[in-house]
Structure 1
């Protein structure tokens, strides 16, 4: 298989796996309507995603080193289809929790194996370019699923089998068959199946930046749509989630031209700035400010911070790239999940807007602490 075709095919596989992750997001309120748990119902679904993803990252991040890169990616594609099928067969909160767990496992398998695989296909001299392909494919996937479901619902009306789901079901078997033809350019190692993540030396600022940035994205995806629903703006959910991710994709070519420290510093500035706009929009019921805030945080979360961090982790661990990617995503998903879960609990007690305000304060403090520690000179 020509290298260029292999790169495109692997990118499509990574796109499809992440496409399934937020595919159901515009239907959250419909799935949780039967539950009496309020905002906590959505955050429990987020917790289920992390419950599937974190053990995969922690224990199976290096699985592809043992069994090859293709098998984890194929498994991830199948899991994406199974999780989505569960929501069609038995739509509801319980199915949402099950689906999110399965999708978490798939995401963990695909991102670790896919990052290492892309670098192997493209060659060691193009590690940063390979990271760009991975971030671009996954960013478009995370954002595209929610947007396409939102468009489908606007055309079809409320349904638990929107056209976006049908598209995924059609794509998965085709990609599984094609993925079997991907080149075997990796060399499986005689290592344990269970392998812990690797955290390369001096990469913690990049991991912390991912955690801070993705915490804002998690709030945008999980909590902000609930606030929009309260004010009758629920039909904007798909676009908000799409912008919260897609603008980062648009920023990635610029991020690639910057040094990793420069891109990291820009990300640190953009995250709190964007969240302030998003919070102001939620408070004033201004959808324009919400969209602007989602876009600005996206520039950091999936643009400058994401590419800089993935590139830095990949460069500093050439012999353990899959496990280093797992280490990076441990940072990212701790930030992505814990604030959302805490905010859901606070929202049921104090209100959605108040919970978003609490998170905004924590976000600003966390950003300042990480930047201070990053810029602090090492003792001689």
Structure 2
């Protein structure tokens, strides 16, 4: 296996750890006696970990080397799956999500840089970017679908066979990654890299806040509400479809200008969130899938591209990395706060009131963002 392929496979295994257990989230909550709020709290431990550790982990590979970071990330992903294999439930899920957040934080930038360094040649950066982007997005899409398929074929056997396959894959990858050459930077690198928000990027960044709020609710609260209504597999199926469509649509959006991409994505997100809400309350698969397709195309396509393009256009040189970090900081805040509040609201007021209230809130936020984006730039 080539060095670039090895790094891509390692990134895929690390990313897959985050979605492999997704079809079992509601089962873990029921087993531990937690409702939608408890599930949301355990679920958002991933994003919270990334927010807290991002300033340190973002530049760590430039300081200690690429290899130690990727090896540590593989170990964290291994431990996350091991925790859910040994003690499936909400406490293990919270621990696993923390470990997964650390793993993703360690490889967020360093894996692509290492792949480019090992590839060499004029197209090295582009090749490395394509490989690691495909490995990351592909792993998010495949992980949940693989476990869903295993549960469908083999029944509700826990742990599912996908957990054992994941652990075996990481065990095989660790020595392969350990053999790869690594060059430590000669110049000193700062330990902390704080996020930045260049002028004009706040609005598009908050488009990602709205997008990841909807995806966070779709991944945590929607399956919990459907499981409570007697449809435990319907939510994970819709979420996997959402991620698949979003991953594919990201390639279609291409190089749209940042503002235009965000302006298109905001109404698409509102429409998708409305269909997901209706599909959840009616337990209607086709409505859920249609809503998931719209949410995925908006969140992972238009709004994601718009936010990152806006950050890249507004910053230069090393500041681009800090501007991109600012986008992800706001996005992960969206992945944390609204899903937690929605989960708690489901426990307190029921799914209908909580999900409808969430949709009205997202609609108001998207309308405000659209107005701000349409204002002429000063």
**TM-score calculated relative to the size of structure 1:** 0.89
State the Cα distance separating 1:368 from its structure 2 match. Answer: 1.4
Counterpart in the other structure of 2:342: 343
Q: Please give the alpha-carbon distance, in whole angstroms, between the structure 2 residues aligned to 1:322 and 1:59.
A: 13
Which is further off, 149-158 or 133-142?
133-142
Deviation string 1:167-221 (CA, Å, 9 cap, x unpaired) is: 2112213333333455647746412323323444533333222221111111111
The structure 1 residue matched to 2:99, chosen from 95, 102, 124, is 102
Q: Gaps spanning 5+ residues in structure 2: where?
A: none
Deviations 1:102-139 (A, max 9, x none): 11111222223235556666889887886555443322
Which residues of 2 match residues 52-131 of structure 1 at below 5 A? 52-117=49-114
Partner of 1:372: 371
- Alignment map for 1:275-294 (pairs within 5 Å): 275-294=273-292
> CA offset at residue 222 of structure 1?
0.5
Deviations 1:247-287 (A, max 9, x none): 01111221224344433332223211111111121222211
Q: Is the 8 A contact 2:64 2:184 kept in 1?
A: no
- 1:148 correspondence with 2:146: yes
After alignment, is 18-27 or 325-334 more displaced?
A: 325-334
C-alpha distance in structure 2 between counterparts of 1:185 and 1:289, whole Å = 51
1:232 to 224, 230, 233: 230
CA distance in 2, matches of 1:378, 1:273: 27
Distance 1:47 1:217 in 2: 12
Post-superposition shift, 1:312? 4.8
Contact 2:58-2:193 within 8 A present in 1 as well: yes
Structure 2 equivalent of residue 359 of structure 1: 358
Contact 1:310–1:328 (Cα < 8 Å) also in 2: yes
Which of 154, 158, 161 lines up with 2:159 in the alignment? 161
SS at the partner of 1:234?
Answer: coil
CA distance in 1, matches of 2:128, 2:374: 28
Task: Determine helix, strand or coil for the equivalent of 2:159.
Answer: coil
Give SS of 2:300's match: helix
Q: Which runs of 5+ in 1 are unaligned?
A: none
Cα distance, 1:364 vs structure 2: 0.8
Distance (Å, rounded) in 1 between the aligned partners of 2:264 and 2:185? 37
Instruction: Give the aligned length.
Output: 376
Per-residue deviation, 1:321: 5.5
Moved more, 174-183 or 369-378: 174-183
User: Given the alignment, which residue of 15, 19, 22 partners 2:19?
Assistant: 22
In the alignment, the residues of structure 2 paired with residue 140 and residue 366 of structure 1 have an alpha-carbon distance, to the nearest angstrom, of 30
Q: Assess if the C-alpha contact under 8 Å between 1:83 and 1:103 holds in 2.
A: yes
| 1:317-328 correspondence to structure 2 within 5 Å | 317-319=316-318, 322-328=321-327
In the aligned structure 2, how far is the partner of 1:19 from the partner of 1:131? 18
Alpha-carbon distance change, 258 to 377 in structure 1, aligned in 2, over 3 angstroms: closer
Tell me what 1:190 maps to.
188
Q: Is the 1:146–1:238 Cα contact (8 Å) retained in structure 2?
A: yes
CA contact (8 A) 2:63 2:184 kept: no
Distance in 2 between residues matched to 1:122 and 1:369, nearest whole Å: 46
Match of 1:45 in 2: 42
Partners in 1 of 2:120 and 2:198 — Cα distance? Answer: 22
Q: CA deviation at 1:341?
A: 0.3
Q: State TM-score, norm by structure 2.
A: 0.89
Q: 1:8–1:306: structure 2 CA closer, same or farther, 3 Å change rule?
A: farther
- Is 2:135 the counterpart of 1:137? yes
Q: Secondary structure at the match of 1:32?
A: helix
